[in-house]
Structure 1
Amino acid sequence: MGPVVAAVITSVIVLAATMYLINGWTKKSLAAFGATLGGILTACLAAILFASLGAVMDIAMDVTAACAELERHKPDISRKALFTAGMNVGRDVMGTMSTTLILAFFGGSLGVWLLDYAYDLPYLQLINSNAVGIEIMKGFSASFGVIFTVPIAAALSAVTHKVEHK
């Protein structure tokens, strides 16, 4: 079994356990599970899975929780309106989450940069180092995972919504 497949399987196990412990198997947690899975598979395209799992799971739960709460207070809301609301919430959270990821990855590599700087390496060597490239790749990959999770979470929330006509 390849390392990417093992990472996906491990992520699915962690994801399933986390979602079950948070809410049990409700339609909200199932929608968040599906959205997170879609997000980590998107991040997987660049083979950065574990670095993005927490952020993707966070935004999936943010969007599905907002949709579930909206549905609870307004049960006659249409699927289209619920999807739109999920996208609006996700758009707001997505910007801050992507920034958080990029800053977290940069902060994690700051020690390496400072060490390289202490050794008085030339600027071009610092900026072209593998550590910089890896952190940039992790930040972008995780951000793509977060970005693609939003519409998946909003769509799954809308699909699982049952409109009751009176």
Structure 2
Amino acid sequence: MTRSSGKITLVKGLLKWLWPLVAFALVFVGAQFDADLYQKPIARVTAAKTIKTVAQTDNFENHDHVDTQALTAKLLNTKNRGQILHLRNTYSFSGAEDAKLGVGSQVFLSKNAANHFTISGIKRDAILLGLVAATVVLLGLIMKKHLWLTLASLGANAIVFILALHVEIASHQVLAFCLFSLVAIAFAVITTLFVVGFKPLAVVVSLATILATGLGVALGYAIFTVTNYRGLHLETVNYVTQAPQLLFFVQIIIGSLGAVLDESSDIAVAIFQLQDGAKARFQAGMAIGRNVMGPLIAVLFMIFIAGTFNEAVLWLRNDNAIATTVSWVMGLGFAQSLISAFGIVLAIPLTSGLAALAAGVERRRTA
């Protein structure tokens, strides 16, 4: 009987990990019928046929072909719901900026000057919403009641970020650095308060995170200023035509903040649980920091480099030298990783010292 109960418990324990897949499937299917939530016209492709293919070759002997599809689609929303449309879709085999459409694909539509519908984009919310649902359910299984604090923290940070974007756009980048520095401080404080609570520990984590990130960025700025940004091509910052240097450092601040906050919280929480003296607590914090420092720097490095990987492959396939590709495409990623590493390293002694002092004060206060 005991063995049978154990097997049932084991099966139930394994089955609960299927809930993320169930959530993904339900939301994915439901998103196929959410066209009424959009104001922009949406149509579902009911028939697709390739009517033309044109081969292309560029100056670097890259071969591609562009196909034109004749589509029949049914309008899913607006007052003309149910109307049958005949559309055209042009896509390349490489799929760099377009995609092939098949039966069941949903597309956003717009009207041209002749009052005819044309495809303006592909509706991809089903996959995105499904992944969000699966992620939330998975976090719920792991974090249980702490999930709501995490979601509340994400929501609060998202609101702060959206408000900051509106202010930045209205100010035309005049306040960008100061604004996003304040945003980074708000992120650190909000996240810490939701995760740790209103405790002395939250003050230590927030202060250490802000100081380490600020000092790391200041050190990087000093080095780049002394070297006159030699070897860095700030003009390659994506989608920026004004003040690339400014937004480059804003990217570093926001990008490194999470890793520094994670490290600071790990060190501070561990130190507050120790019963040793201040010196022993400081040394314990330094030991913890040395253990987590390497993986955090490696993760940030991979994130920064992954963002440039596709473009780097394109440069290399177009016969650019490796040194040129690294300098022009991946150079900023390397620089961001190094400056973020400064913040991660500086967070270790800062957090260890602040936590050791605060833990001692807290213990004497409660004694």
What RMSD over aligned residues (CA atoms) do the two structures have, in Å?
A: 1.8
Is 1:150 equivalent to 2:354 in the alignment? no
The offset of 1:6, in angstroms, is 1.7
CA distance in 2, matches of 1:114, 1:121: 10
Counterpart residue type for residue 59 of structure 1? E
Q: Which residue does 1:107 correspond to in 2?
A: 306
Q: Which residue does 1:132 correspond to in 2?
A: 330
Q: Which residue does 2:262 correspond to in 1?
A: 58
CA distance in 1, matches of 2:278, 2:195: 25
The offset of 1:140, in angstroms, is 0.2
Q: Which residue does 2:186 correspond to in 1?
A: 13
CA distance in 2, matches of 1:146, 1:35: 11
The offset of 1:120, in angstroms, is 2.5
Question: Tell me, which stretches of 5 or more residues in structure 2 are unaligned?
Answer: 1-173, 221-248
Q: Which residue does 2:170 correspond to in 1?
A: none
Where 2:314 maps in the other structure, the secondary structure is: helix
CA distance in 2, matches of 1:16, 1:33: 6
The offset of 1:29, in angstroms, is 1.6
CA distance in 2, matches of 1:56, 1:7: 17
Greater helix proportion: 1
Where 1:120 maps in the other structure, the secondary structure is: coil
The offset of 1:61, in angstroms, is 0.6
When Rg is computed on C-alpha atoms for both structures, the one with the higher figure is: 2
The offset of 1:125, in angstroms, is 2.1
Counterpart residue type for residue 157 of structure 1? A
Where 2:294 maps in the other structure, the secondary structure is: helix
Where 1:161 maps in the other structure, the secondary structure is: helix
CA distance in 2, matches of 1:100, 1:141: 14
Counterpart residue type for residue 39 of structure 1? A
Superposed CA offset, 1:58-82 (max 9, x none): 1111110111222xxx2xx111111
TM-score computed with the length of structure 2 as normaliser: 0.41
CA distance in 2, matches of 1:124, 1:159: 48
Q: Which residue does 2:207 correspond to in 1?
A: 34
CA distance in 1, matches of 2:260, 2:183: 15
CA distance in 2, matches of 1:91, 1:161: 20
Question: Tell me, which stretches of 5 or more residues in structure 1 are unaligned?
Answer: none
Counterpart residue type for residue 88 of structure 1? A
CA distance in 2, matches of 1:157, 1:111: 42
Q: Which residue does 1:83 correspond to in 2?
A: 282
- 8 Å contact 1:31–1:64 — kept in the other structure? yes
- 8 Å contact 1:31–1:156 — kept in the other structure? yes
The answer to which of 1-10 and 142-151 deviates more is 1-10
CA distance in 2, matches of 1:26, 1:38: 19
Greater strand proportion: 2
The offset of 1:31, in angstroms, is 0.8
- 8 Å contact 1:43–1:49 — kept in the other structure? no
Q: Which residue does 2:339 correspond to in 1?
A: 141
CA distance in 2, matches of 1:134, 1:2: 23
